[in-house]
Amino acid sequence: MATGGNSDNTRIEWIATIGGMIKHRAVVRALCDRCGADDLVNLKRLERALGSGGTLLNRHPPCKTPGCDGRILFHASPGPSTPSRPCVTVAGVTARWRRERDERDRIKALRNG
Ligand SMILES: [Zn+2]
């Protein structure tokens, strides 16, 4: 990825797992690129749901805004003076990009057929 250098998010404690995020008091936001929703994530609640070893890397749940079919991208920052990083891995971004391309190709094939 262009931003954040080449460091692997799976090796960075404050972004790799929910337990690591809580330990480092990371600020995590759930952003929707379609409707602009920007919500602060309740890490304690997520920990209860996913466990402290759970991760937000490459997780893109559906947006909660009524009528919005966007997907959430989580962003995390270990402190107010540190820019946030998207909670993804290079492999995850590549896989998502392939899925979206395949989806576009399917739609195109349906139109042409
Ligand atoms: Zn949305």
Q: How far is CA 16 from the centre of its chain?
A: 11
Range of the domain at 67: 9-88
pLDDT of 52 above 80: yes
Whether residue 37 is contained in a domain is answered as: yes
How does strand 85-86 pair with strand 72-77? antiparallel
Q: In what order do the strands lie in the sheet with 85-86?
A: 38-40, 27-32, 72-77, 85-86
Tell me the mean pLDDT in the region 101-107. Answer: 95
Whether residue 98 is contained in a domain is answered as: no
Per-chain residues with Cβ under 5 A from ion ligand 1? 32, 34-35, 37, 63, 65, 68, 70
Output 83 or 42, whichever has higher pLDDT.
Answer: 42
Tell me the mean pLDDT in the region 46-74. Answer: 96
Tell me the mean pLDDT in the region 89-95. Answer: 91
Whether residue 32 is contained in a domain is answered as: yes
For the whole prediction, is pTM greater than 0.85? no
Give 112 Cα–ligand 1 centroid separation in angstroms.
30
How many structural domains compose the chain?
A: 1
Whether residue 95 is contained in a domain is answered as: no
Give 63 Cα–ligand 1 centroid separation in angstroms.
5
Give 70 Cα–ligand 1 centroid separation in angstroms.
5
Q: Output the pLDDT for position 82.
A: 87
Q: Output the pLDDT for position 112.
A: 87
Give 113 Cα–ligand 1 centroid separation in angstroms.
32
Whether residue 29 is contained in a domain is answered as: yes
Q: Output the pLDDT for position 1.
A: 42
Angle 1-97-104 from CA coordinates, rounded to 5°: 150
Give the Cα separation of 37 and 68 in Å (integer): 10
